[in-house]
Structure 1
């Protein structure tokens, strides 16, 4: 047998932990009258749970749920009655030591986007 060294693209000398450079991703979706939040933090390895916050203005956020991390992508269903109260959502990962990590940005629920009218900015004629 030829003497060929074993080559691997992975080498672990100690327990590896991932700390993503980007914040968590959150996507609110309207499903069957409820708002469903899908979120993940790609590459984070030390996350135990996520704190789900809701608001109508970014300054008035309040915790509405806590979701244990169970996989790559998490899902939280906000019932229709509760979803009607809020337009903005964000998630904050909680690490295994109980410390809050960097939050996702505030994301607007689809039903609230439809209620807003955006007009193009027009320059005044001189």
Structure 2
């Protein structure tokens, strides 16, 4: 039975949404640079989430979750640059930016919870 809420699948879907954005970017120096950054920063959370699931300790788990949050924040900045330039229409970017914000909140809360569980 598939879980209703699967964070790994959500992160993979996020990567695919980012890919759709990357493929629509114009062929300019800035857009190509941002596209490269987006490829790295948006794929990293899904890959690191897989690693976090087999963390060797609570401290290792928190570290991996912090890496995920860092990469999601980098992705957010890239999306904001694309919006501010503007390299694409807002209607293409805003749903993905919203998903990014939700993922940021989920991982920030997970880190907070994991840290508080360490002190118990």
TM bin (shorter chain): under 0.3
Q: Decide which structure has greater helix share.
A: 2
Q: Of the two, which has the highest radius of gyration?
A: 1
Under a length normalisation based on structure 2, what TM-score does the superposition of the two structures give? Answer: 0.28
Under a length normalisation based on structure 1, what TM-score does the superposition of the two structures give? Answer: 0.27
